[in-house]
Structure 1
Amino acid sequence: MKNGFFRGHGLGNDYLVMDPKELTFSLTPASIKRICDRNWGLGSDGILAIVPTKRADFGLRIFNPDGSEAEKSGNGLRIFSRYLHATGRTKKTRFTVDTKGGLVSIALHLDRHGDAASATVEMGRATFDPAALPCTLRVDELLREPIDAAGRSLRFTGVSVGNPHCVVLKPSGESWSREDLLALGPALENHAIFPKRTNVQLAVPTGPAELFILIWERGAGETQASGSSSCAAASAAVRLGLVRSPVTVKMPGGALTIEVAQDFSLTMKGPVAEVARGTLSASFLRELRAKRGK
């Protein structure tokens, strides 16, 4: 379908899926920003673009709403997998996807209507190596490292799950506020020690195998849920001995289950929903072309 889109969400974190081969315009940073704008475009937390690959069954590029590119997205992968099944691009319930953050394996779980209502995604292996994020600190692992942001002295654990994460944990019994997130999120995302910026999670253990997190996504800002953020926070909390696997990660949008293996390989399971399918209007396309490069 020319200039078509598929809209889905994972726990309120919404993405548009598009096929660049079916678009009459290019997915440039300018066009992505316009499409994702919630007042002047369709509105979205990002765009998922299906691309050719020889390494897996399907290839995926993930674009943030500011036009930058993400390496991996757990919610995005679940939405992409539902798109593939719902649009008939595959009848399989198990397949692989090639992302900039590595290869992942996905298993779909169909409901009584035959819809992929949830998915299990093997997200790869977490690492706390500074070079993997990257982070400029010269330490063996980024565990409880001191950092100053927004006038506050904190300690963070840095995790890469194919994309970079800065996890700031409070002790059990304490809490984070949205005001904390709005102040610390952008300050940590753009901190000088993260040369490619970072995703941010403000986390607190709420049980022996449970976390609550608030999320600030690189290039997107505050989000209701995030699969890769859940994986990062669970990995950090397990590594620090604060929770045990499998970890239920609760967020404002809902909960995901994250299994953290002994070698820190990660498996994420959670729901996914389709919202709409449609096409961009002729007038909107003219507007995109008129603003090309701006």
Structure 2
Amino acid sequence: MKNAFFKGHGLGNDYIALNPKDLDFKLTPKTIRAICDRHWGVGSDGILALTASRKADFGLRIYNPDGSEAEKSGNGLRIFGCYLFATKITKRRSFSVETKGGLVHIDLEVDRRGQVVGATVDMGRATFQPRALPCTIRAPELILQPIKAVGQSLRFTGVSVGNPHCVVFKDKGGKWTREDLLRMGPELENHSIFPKRTNVQLAVPTGPKSLYILIWERGAGETQASGSSSCAAASAGVRLGLIKSPVTVKAPGGTLLITVDAQYNLTMKGPVAEVYQGQLHPAFLTPAK
């Protein structure tokens, strides 16, 4: 079907998946913004574009709703796996995917009706080195580094899980509010020490193996959940000795289980759901081209 697309969500973090070969237009920043617009388009937190790969079973390019490109997305990868299976691009329940943030492996959970309801994703290894994000701070690792935002002096832990993250913890028993996220998120995302911008997590330990996070995504803003953000917050919490693995990470959209091993290799497990499949109308596409 020409201009076909698939929409799914992982804990409220929604993506459109498609094959650019099915489109009669090019995916440009302009068309991406038009499709992702929640009032004038389909509406989503980004686009997952199927590509060829020489290193994996499938290739994936991930676009933010502002038209920029992301290296990796945990929720996006679960949705992408669901898309491949639901649209019969593959009948396999286990396969590899190449992203700009590295190779990952996906294992799908399929129910009795043959529908994908969850996925476990090998998300690669977390690193705290400045050059991996990148970050201009000169230090062996970005552990509790000072940063100023909205007139406050904070300390952040910088993590790359294939894409960049700035994790700011409150002490156990403390609380971050949505107002904190809306004030601090944009400034931290665009802080001068992050040349390629960054994702932001405001995190609070809630138990020996659990966290609560609020999420501000680079190029998307506030999101209800994020797999890579959950991985970053979990690995930062383990590195700081605040929690132990496996870590239950709760966000406004729901909960993911993150396993962090001794070398900071990460595995993410969580639900995924198909929303619908459709076709972009020519009348919509004409002004967007």
TM-score (norm: length of structure 2): 0.99
Q: 2:2 maps to which residue?
A: 2
Q: Deviations over 1:122-146 (max 9, x none)?
A: 0000000000000000000000000
Offset at residue 282 of structure 1 (A) = 1.6
- Distance across 1 between alignment mates of 2:285 and 2:167: 40
Q: 1:65 maps to which residue?
A: 65
Offset at residue 63 of structure 1 (A) = 0.1
Structure 2 residues without counterparts, runs of 5 or longer: none
SS in 1 for 2:278: strand
Structure 1 residues without counterparts, runs of 5 or longer: 290-294
Q: 2:287 maps to which residue?
A: 287
Q: 2:48 maps to which residue?
A: 48
Q: 1:211 maps to which residue?
A: 211
SS in 2 for 1:59: strand
Q: Deviations over 1:204-236 (max 9, x none)?
A: 000000000000000000000000000000000
User: Equivalent pairs: percent with the same residue?
Assistant: 70
- Distance across 2 between alignment mates of 1:241 and 1:285: 51
- Distance across 2 between alignment mates of 1:209 and 1:86: 34
* Aligned-residue CA RMSD (Å): 0.5
Offset at residue 287 of structure 1 (A) = 1.9
Q: 2:36 maps to which residue?
A: 36
SS in 1 for 2:206: strand
- Distance across 1 between alignment mates of 2:79 and 2:157: 28
Q: 1:221 maps to which residue?
A: 221
- Distance across 1 between alignment mates of 2:213 and 2:185: 12
SS in 2 for 1:200: strand
Q: Deviations over 1:23-77 (max 9, x none)?
A: 0000000110111011111111000000111110000000000000000000000
Offset at residue 111 of structure 1 (A) = 1.1
- Distance across 2 between alignment mates of 1:207 and 1:82: 32
Offset at residue 91 of structure 1 (A) = 0.8
Offset at residue 284 of structure 1 (A) = 0.4
- Distance across 1 between alignment mates of 2:248 and 2:72: 20
Offset at residue 114 of structure 1 (A) = 1.2
Offset at residue 21 of structure 1 (A) = 0.4
Q: 1:256 maps to which residue?
A: 256
One-letter amino acid of the counterpart of residue 258, structure 1: I
Offset at residue 116 of structure 1 (A) = 1.2
Q: 1:192 maps to which residue?
A: 192
TM-score (norm: length of structure 1): 0.98
Residue 243 (structure 1) aligned with residue 243 (structure 2): yes
Offset at residue 285 of structure 1 (A) = 1.5
- Distance across 2 between alignment mates of 1:97 and 1:224: 24
Residue 270 (structure 1) aligned with residue 270 (structure 2): yes
Q: 1:292 maps to which residue?
A: none
- Distance across 2 between alignment mates of 1:120 and 1:39: 33
- Distance across 2 between alignment mates of 1:45 and 1:105: 22
One-letter amino acid of the counterpart of residue 38, structure 2: R
Count of aligned residue pairs for this structure pair: 289
One-letter amino acid of the counterpart of residue 228, structure 1: S
| Superposition misfits of 4+ residues, deviation over 3 angstroms | none
Q: 1:95 maps to which residue?
A: 95
